[in-house]
Amino acid sequence: MTNGSERMAILGGRGMLGTDLQKAARQHGFTVGVFDLPEFDITNERHLRGAIADYDVIVNCAAYTNVDGAESNAETAYAVNAGAAERLGRLAVESDKYVLHISTDFVFDGRKDGPYDETELPNPLGVYGRTKLQGEQLLSQTGCRHSIVRVQWTYGKAGNNFVSKMIQLARGGKPLKVIDDQVGSPTATIEVAAALCDLLAADRRPEGLFHYAAAGYVNRCEQARFIFDTLKLKVDVSPCRSADYATAAERPLNSRFDCDKIQRYLDKPIRPWQEPLAEFLEQL
């Protein structure tokens, strides 16, 4: 908790994670400012300088997240994911702000046989992952006080995601083929938000790189089956391979994270992915 006088700016604060972080941060005693499109453009230095001026802690949830679209819009993806992160870092140094920057499992190629910890060398497969990695590196090089939290397979009420897509497809009543060779941890943004607030407690604020995801792993096909079973939807689901779908960008097949490092800063153990997902589905 904070002493009630600290202020948090959430860049990209109306997205899926930002929306849940707003609520969690207020519950932890922060005064919260929300900055997002259309009135706030993170690539605009004047906007950025104005957004962080009156805040103690800056959380950057803003990102260009269209994985396939990034392949043909590399300049925009770089401007948002990398260039803006560097600019944020420089401004944070000038005014001595602490920055928490959100990144992604897409910085890895997914070819490792086992979970990725923070010491693993990244090797992104496409423009999205490459620009997110560049954002991490450029922010770090500014020397600002910061932490970077990589997340994966997120879902929440305020955005489109795998869970909402599966439910929408199920309503069509047709048999579904779902990929079974991509493995990771479905992670609720409400859980990410709580973890970020733990990191941002006034007596913590560690610097460095962290991985956060729900505990346990599952493939996408089994995740879909869990969703349908929980909602008692009768859907004919069969497995397929990533290679069966033609996409502009390749996805990492292994997104498993080792989250031991961040767990040391959290007030509660990270929960198995099934529990938050079941709660999320029950609230729909």
pLDDT tens profile 51-79:
999 999 999 999 999 999 999 999 999 99
Compute CA 86 distance to the chain's CA centroid, rounded to the nearest angstrom: 18
Question: Phi/psi class of residue 205: alpha, beta or left (left: φ > 0; alpha: ψ in -120 to 50)?
Answer: left
Residue 102 to residue 125: CA distance in whole angstroms:
19
Q: Give residue-wise pLDDT tens across range 9-51.
A: 999 999 999 999 999 999 999 999 999 999 999 999 999 999 9
CB 249 within 8 A of CB 126: yes
Phi/psi for 188 (5° steps) reads: -75, 135
CB 112 within 8 A of CB 120: yes
Farthest CA pair distance, the chain: 57
Please give the C-alpha separations between residue 195 and each of 13, 76, 214, 254, in angstroms, as whole numbers. 16, 30, 11, 23
Active-site amino acid positions: 128
Percent of the chain with pLDDT over 70: 99
Residue 229 to residue 200: CA distance in whole angstroms:
37
What's the pLDDT score for residue 4? 58
CB 147 within 8 A of CB 207: yes
What's the pLDDT score for residue 5? 76
What's the pLDDT score for residue 79? 98
Q: What is the mean pLDDT of residues 121-149?
A: 98
Domains of the chain: 7-161+185-216+256-272 (3.40.50.720)
Mean pLDDT, the chain, integer: 96
**β-pair partners for 177:** 238
Tokens of 239: 């497995």
Question: Residue 71 gets which letter from DSSP?
Answer: G
Q: Give residue-wise pLDDT tens across range 137-159.
A: 999 999 999 999 999 999 999 98
Please give the C-alpha separations between residue 175 and each of 95, 113, 169, 188, 236, in angstroms, as whole numbers. 55, 31, 9, 26, 5
